Structure 1
Amino acid sequence: MNLRKWMTLFGTTILIGGASSLIAGIIMLLCDSSFQVVVKTGNDWMFNVTMMALAGLTFGAFAHMGFFAYLMLNYIARSIIKKPYYWVALQGFVAVFVLAEIGYWTYDSAFPAATFWLIPLALAAVSLAVAWWKVKETTAGAWIPTLFYMIAVTTIEAMPGFQSGKITSLIFTLIPLLVCNTFQIMRLHRVLSKPHASASAVSANASR
């Protein structure tokens, strides 16, 4: 990892955040005309679309901050906890706890009644799909860390949406964060790979 790769990852992440928010916002706006990012100028459709894109850029930057925080946490935890499987087990426990906590937050709240089970189920399903994809491209050891990152870190980043009490705000917050976090966790092993080493291996195999 060098500065150029890091800045490329950051720039791509915020652009993905802007694009995913724009797409999700337009779909929500078409399905529900009452959905507005800016209530004050709610009749100005184009202004709301512009604000959706700008909000998405913010989500992308926030997601990258969360990604950096997770990498630092993982580095510190692995330095302090001598037995790696303890840290892995702790991440698995926290991921399950967070899903249960989401149900607790949203049960009997301003959110629709089905939110308390639908949001944790959807978040778990997306996280499992991403973890499976990550394991397919790396190793089986990526299962729990990926689930922890996709569930716990995404939930922390989406706290403003949970605090809003509005399902539309929560969905509009969660979608770009999930997209950005999926991109970052799937991009990490590619960024850290050594192309020259791969090229040497290919050359060696070709010479046999």
Structure 2
Amino acid sequence: MNLRKWMTLFGTTILIGAAASLVTGAIMQLCDPTFRDVDANGWLFNLFMMALAGLSFGAFAHMGFFAYLMLNYIARSIFKRPYLWVALQGFVAAFVLVEIAYWTYDSKFPAATFWLVPLLLLAASVGVAWLKVTETSAGAWIPTLFYMIAVTTVEAVPGFQSGGKWTALVFTIIPVFICNGYQIMRLHRILGPSRASGVTMGAN
């Protein structure tokens, strides 16, 4: 990972975040006019602010991505048996899904949120993990699920703290998830198959 590759990944990630936020925000606006209460003349400015927020989501997702890579590097030096680190990631991913249900159960969010959000997040994460495995190795399953579930949830915490506004949660979690999916799928292409395998599998 040289500086040019890093800058390219960063720039592409924030642009993807802006595009994802723009599309998601526009759909939210059409579905719920109170999401961004603006008149017809304010739509263009509103879309600009959504894209600007997406740039922030992309930058935040990029920070989380490198935080995960650093965590993975440290954990591989602590756990002498790679399967222990992989097992821990699997446990944390499952715990986070339960925690999401706990956060949203009997809250101001719509009643179905407590099971719908974890289920959709799990399904989407499995899809990303499946793509990752098809391009790398079977050892990428659990680390990818951990990254897509746990890291995405941490980055989307402001959405969960929005006071029960489901549109705010959707507007936060979807762009962050897309940015994370892009980055994890780019990793093995940037590093090369052998080095990326070590990162995703947690193997030495």
Same fold (TM over 0.5): yes
Residue 196 of structure 2 corresponds to none
Residue 171 of structure 2 corresponds to 172
Whole-angstrom CA distance in 2 between matches of 1:193 and 1:9 = 15
Residue 184 of structure 1 corresponds to 183
Whole-angstrom CA distance in 1 between matches of 2:65 and 2:117 = 22
> What does the per-residue CA deviation read over 1:183-204, in whole Å, with 9 as the maximum and x for residues that have no partner?
000000000028xxxxxxxxxx
Larger radius of gyration: 1
Are 2:110 and 1:104 aligned? no
Note the residue ranges of structure 1 that are not aligned, 5 or more in a row. 195-208
Normalising by structure 1, we get a TM-score of 0.90
Q: State percent identity of aligned pairs.
A: 75
Greater Cα offset, 25-34 or 91-100:
25-34
CA RMSD of aligned residues (A): 0.9
Residue 67 of structure 1 corresponds to 65
Residue 115 of structure 1 corresponds to 113
Normalising by structure 2, we get a TM-score of 0.91
Note the residue ranges of structure 2 that are not aligned, 5 or more in a row. 194-204
Shift of 1:27: 1.2
Are 2:35 and 1:2 aligned? no
Indicate the structure whose relative CO is greater, using CA pairs within 8 Å and at least 6 residues apart. Answer: 2
Whole-angstrom CA distance in 1 between matches of 2:166 and 2:28 = 11
Residue 32 of structure 2 corresponds to 32
Runs of 4+ more than 6 Å apart: none
Aligned residues: 190
> What does the per-residue CA deviation read over 1:38-68, in whole Å, with 9 as the maximum and x for residues that have no partner?
x6xx332222111100000000000000000
Whole-angstrom CA distance in 1 between matches of 2:139 and 2:15 = 30
Matched AA of 2:158: P
